[in-house]
Structure 1
């Protein structure tokens, strides 16, 4: 019997996920302001319409047989003298047909009624229009203004590739208005049976500037999470985005500028805290050198399930305010409310030191949903939940306007990459914002959310012990510490992933 060939031993590569398990994951949401300006545009439209049927027949005949006798034309259509006289008056009055010595010829105006490639004659009239229209200053494409709220008006602005060139935008409106004419046409023009074409753009006058929020969602393949992809589908349809490549480029530049170095943001220290706060949940992923991030990432991608009574801690990928994560965290809160007799006065958020964290109205909306969920669980409570943000460094305006209270510190004992969310005695979440699979790149949020009593107690204690740099006022400090440490702090076992 011939020897069977020995199977080849293939070493496993360093890929984060094998190709058959790869998938797209959402890693970020940002709202940014698109710079725009209003312009008064004066233009003319050509209103196209058909000629009457009898005149059409006559014009087509005269075009086919130049110089045809009037009697022959009448005989061709079977017209009586009064009928041919009526049609001839209709043709000669506007100057479409010329009568000479009993014969008929088309004038240049009559010949112009036959557009190139068309067999039927058509007439048109010209009407003037004047409208105030909004255009963005990047792609010079139509953008209607809308009211923006206090959070939106403090968001960052998309960068202009040539800020000094914005004054020349008015010159380009002539061409861009023609390009987008049918998108910009008035409703009454679009609804008319008669077709309307742009005849000319006569004058463009720049007016007030304004800004419009644009939502950017960041995705990546799970096999390469530190290489983000931009999705503007929440703002406009795909075919409209393809007409605005400059905006896509500006969004990509902005996200590319968010790259961080894992060492600089203290990623290792942040992962250590992540494991210390939920040791039972992460014990399978902890080695002598610390948390095996790549292995936990693979597990989280494949098993980012919903919480259950027997699954008190669940993996989280992406910021807490994505639609999917906000829904998952609120379900965690619902479970925590079942065993909590004490209603919280505050909800705490420890901000990571990553640029544009919380730069979206979805952060505010998530906090609003959280308030309503807790209020519904305690309808007799009159105290409204206050959202407190502990922010190392100087907070951006949109953070100030998202939270009820923002407490800043020049430095703290919290790793820069670490984010923590606490609904005292009910639920907590912790995320590390750092590149995965590379030493530098996009800061990928990875962590967990939990209503496990032990995890909640440890997380509250961790923040309470580091509260002093953020709160130097003794009475307020003691009040916040009491909010974090009061109640049952029993340490129960944690659920496994």
Structure 2
């Protein structure tokens, strides 16, 4: 998937948001900083005069400032206490420290040592500061972890930390000190590792609408932090993982099969085949917000993309407020990255909040124990969190680009995850519909997937249910409840 660049561009729309877990370590450092000190104005001007005329006397200073003898004695005492001035035979000149502190332009910068106990969280890829926002325990097994490109360096993180603190010192002071220009780094005396953590990083995927149009990973937020290019190693690792994400190779077949199921909804929305997706997306965005009274509206992007998410949440919420149409059934596409993001988890939480009967996941599976464990690990309930109330595993090996969400008798959503022509990144396009025929046919399609399985295909269910009850409830919801509910 070469060609992914920063975004968003001049005209773009969010079509996906990925999450990656980045290993990080929190350190405590005993460091010595140099803090700018303020000196009296007369002393500063005296230092400037001495730099311009080495060897001035007390009488010269008195004449320059117009001071009396007592006032000159106070000035000389202040100068000597700074250690910036030396007196020899009644004449004054700058010390080595003074020559360093007083610039050729006469500016005086005087710093005093300050010992601090600093804390910094560093990612173990770029060894740059990262937010101390640990990944939710319920998502640790779901969100993919970013591989470490240099495991040896990561293993030696304790010795790397002092250098990283010095390199990113200004970033640290800008965050934890009121005035970063008043501080300079001097040394690190000691460093201790407090704890290791897994930090989530979100990467938006935008679709550029201008030419050349296409899906682009947006690393602008990372590029704008701290020293320019300081996150390049992290960005390169993220980019490499994103480029491994590919679309299903049966998108065209899925598109044509969907047309057979729903009677050609895409055709009525102006999309005849997947070769026209770029221009179709531009026309959909140009059309603006769809009519709330429309029975079918076009959507684009994954379920966490800007337009699809807004439409899905709005429709589920609106319909749930009018009736209790039963559970939501969700058939995901056959894509390894699907559903494995913090944004997706947030969406599901929001949907379940307005769905008393919850969400039933129809997860594609090859019926192997290995695949069953993978599904449970990525999407199954945990003590801390339940995303999907039930999960059934029909054996499906085709139409991997097709994603369907149905609430029988209420509404349906269909997405075809095509491939972006320029980058190869999955580019979902689809629709939301309350058209009675469309909802009925997509409901029948999902029900048909369950006809050849039984209760042994229930991967998990609600605690109070048996496998048989969960399976019967799912079959019963997908077949008889086919009445239309107008949106």
Which runs of structure 2 are paired with 1:330-341 in the superposition (5 Å)?
Answer: 330-333=313-316
Report the alpha carbon displacement of residue 33 of structure 1 after superposing the two structures with TM. 0.9
* Unpaired runs of at least 5, structure 1: 1-21, 375-383, 493-497
Q: Which residue of 2 aligns with 1:269?
A: 253
- In structure 2, which of residues 379, 393, 397 is the aligned counterpart of residue 399 of structure 1? 379
Partner of 1:249: 236
Aligned 8 A contact 2:23 2:124 in 1:
yes
Partner residue in 1 for 2:273: 292
Deviations along 1:229-266, one digit per CA (max 9) or x if unpaired, are 11145x6573558531122211211111112451xxx3
**What is the CA-CA distance between 1:212 and the residue it aligns to?**
1.2
Where does residue 158 of structure 1 map in the other structure?
A: 146
TM-score computed with the length of structure 2 as normaliser: 0.81
Moved more, 329-338 or 480-489: 329-338
2:224 alignment partner in structure 1: 238
Tell me what 1:184 maps to.
172
SS at match of 2:395: coil
CA shift, 1:141, in A, is 0.8
Q: How far is 1:124 from its partner?
A: 2.3
Pair 1:449 & 2:432 matched = yes
2:326 pairs with 1:354: no
Separation of aligned partners in 2, 1:225 and 1:390: 37
* Contact kept? 2:349, 2:387, Cα under 8 Å: no
Mean Cα deviation higher: 211-220 or 159-168 = 159-168
Match of 1:381 in 2: none
Greater shift in the superposed pair: 158-167 or 445-454 = 158-167
Alignment of 1:122-133 (within 5 A): 122-133=109-120
Query: 1: CA distance between counterparts of 2:454 and 2:403?
Result: 15
User: 1:46-195 alignment to 2 at 5 Å?
Assistant: 46-93=34-81, 95-114=83-102, 116-154=103-141, 155-185=143-173, 189-191=177-179, 195=182
**Counterparts in 2 of 1:301 and 1:373: CA distance versus 1, 3 Å:** farther
Q: Specify which of 343, 351, 368 is matched with residue 349 of structure 2.
A: 368
Query: Cα offset for 1:106?
Result: 3.5
Per-residue CA distance 1:34-81 (angstroms, 9 max, x = gap): 211112222111122232233233333333333334334323333222
Q: CA separation in 2, counterparts of 1:69 and 1:332? A: 86
**1:88–1:301 distance in 2 versus 1, CA, 3 Å:** closer
In structure 2, relative to structure 1, the CA distance for the partners of 1:396 and 1:286 (3 Å cut) is farther
In 1: Cα distance, 2:270 partner to 2:174 partner: 64
C-alpha displacement at 1:466, in angstroms? 0.9
**1:135–1:117 distance in 2 versus 1, CA, 3 Å:** farther
Indicate if the aligned counterparts of 1:226 and 1:443 stay in contact, CA closer than 8 A: no
Q: In structure 2, how many angstroms separate the alpha carbons of the residues matched to 1:140 and 1:456?
A: 51
**Partner of 2:360 in structure 1?**
388
Look up the match of 2:471.
Answer: 477
Give the CA deviation at 1:113: 3.2
- 2:318 is aligned with 1:344: no
Q: Radius of gyration: which is bigger?
A: 1
Structure 1 equivalent of residue 481 of structure 2: 487
- Whether contact under 8 Å (1:178, 1:198) holds in the other structure is yes
More deviation in 213-222 or 397-406?
397-406
- 2:113 partner SS: strand
CA–CA distance in structure 2, aligned partners of residues 55 and 225 of structure 1: 63
Please give the secondary structure, in 2, of the residue aligned with 1:441: coil
For the pair 1:259 / 2:246, whether they are aligned, the reply is yes
1:279 is matched with which residue? 263
Shift of 1:275: 0.6
> Contact conserved, 1:227 with 1:441, CA < 8 A, in 2?
no
Instruction: Show the counterpart of 1:315.
Output: 298
Match of 1:415 among 386, 399, 415: 399
User: In 2, distance between residues paired with 1:99 and 1:331?
Assistant: 80
How many equivalent pairs are there? Answer: 451
Change in 2 beyond 3 A, CA 1:366/1:105: closer
> 2:148 & 2:265 partners in 1: Cα distance?
46
- What is the CA–CA distance in structure 2 between the aligned matches of 1:97 and 1:446, rounded to whole Å? 74
Assess if the C-alpha contact under 8 Å between 1:392 and 1:412 holds in 2.
Answer: yes
Cα RMSD, aligned residues only: 3.5
Return 429-438 or 212-221, whichever deviates more.
Answer: 429-438
User: TM-score, with normalisation over the residues of structure 1?
Assistant: 0.79
